[in-house]
Amino acid sequence: METCAVETVFSAGPATRAAPMRGRTTLTHSSLESFMRCPREFELAYRELLAPAAYAPPLALGSAFHRGSEMLHHGPPLDQALRVADEVIEGYLARAALGLGEEKSRELDDQVRGDRARAHAMLRGWYERHFVPWNGDAVRRDLDLDVVETEVRIEAPLINPKTMRASRLFTLAGRADGIVHHREENSRRGPSGVEGWHILETKTTGLNIEEFVETMGRSSQIAIYQHMAERSLVPNPRPLLGTVVDVIAKPKLRPRSGESVEAFETRLVDLYRGEPDAMFRRVVLALDRDRMDETLADVWRIARQIRDAERHGFARKSGPSCRGPFGWCRFRRLCWENDRAGYVTKEVAHEELADQE
């Protein structure tokens, strides 16, 4: 398949950043969601910097896919991306071992081997779905996207919706999975149209992919990230057009009795090849300023609640959140029984920002 030459969104080099804001407490989308679920969870995770040491397959698998797909956007061969995914999963296992001890950590071997196979299958299927030969067979490139940069820190002031002044206490920060030029979306504007750039958000989900895509259109994260990207990344001089959401469904298959890891991985790859429409989806969400304004007003309200909770020196427990749709809260034992065994202290509050925080 013939593909066009790469055209970058920015004139040269990585996106230009606005100067970072100092002296304010950072709020991320994850921390805002944590406070809304339960202020006590927020306090434990983002003020006491605690995290469960237990191995969390959804987090390990999602992170492994993110790191592997990020590498593939920059051109390394698939085998290298698979090795990086393995390293990410091993990192989650090592963290779990801190709280479990050597004997119990060995019991996770079967789970970890299965997750490696799942991550490999997800990357192989995604690579075959979205990447095409370019410049002969020497390299492959994404069929839809020119990726300018990946893992981009974005930051913006938290604005009072009434006065339009920046908060003196809080700032918003996050990490976009990428900054991209979507060739089809720009081609629709024609030769005289305004070309622009998109944020890339890569999502893995265990839900039905149709339902997940529908929820993303209403996601507060999309609106917050678009606000931050406009404020902290300076295009040259093209505007932000929206967000590309790249979704991949996690496989629900389990290893059969006596099945080797290699056979399990092959079966998973066949699943992705045989049902691509049920396993992959790539949607473009246009910049929606009304939605952005509504979301930022909600964020301001949540930030005031965080401020008030900290001033009064307590964080209430939200009983209904102790058990959610995906199981018990990760802090249930600590919160109910004051049992701190099996928890570790994080080096930073927001681990998604760790290399720059």
Band (pLDDT 50/70/90 cuts) for residue 237 is low
pLDDT value at 350 more than 70: yes
Q: Is residue 253 within 8 Å of 267, Cβ to Cβ? A: yes
Residue 233 pLDDT level (bands cut at 50, 70, 90): confident
Rounded CA separation 247/213 (Å): 8
* Distance between start and end Cα atoms, the chain: 43
Q: How far apart are CA 206 and CA 278, in angstroms?
A: 12
Confidence (pTM)? 0.86
Instruction: State how far the Cα of 66 lies from the Cα of 91, in Å rounded to an integer.
Output: 14
User: Where along the chain do its domains lie?
Assistant: 16-303+322-353
Q: How far apart are CA 198 and CA 201, in angstroms?
A: 9
Each residue of 238-296: pLDDT tens digit?
Answer: 889 999 999 999 999 999 999 999 999 999 999 999 999 999 999 999 999 999 999 99
Give the pLDDT confidence of 28-85 residue by residue, as tens digits: 999 999 999 999 999 999 999 998 888 888 889 999 999 999 999 998 899 999 999 9
Neighbours of 22 (CB within 10 A): 6
* Sequence-distant (≥ 6) Cβ neighbours of residue 187 within 8 angstroms: none
Q: Dump pLDDT digits (tens) for 92-147.
A: 888 777 656 566 666 677 789 999 999 999 999 999 999 988 766 667 889 899 99
* DSSP classification of residue 212: H
- The span from the CA of 192 to the CA of 188, in Å, is 10
The answer to whether 261 and 113 have CB atoms below 8 angstroms apart is yes
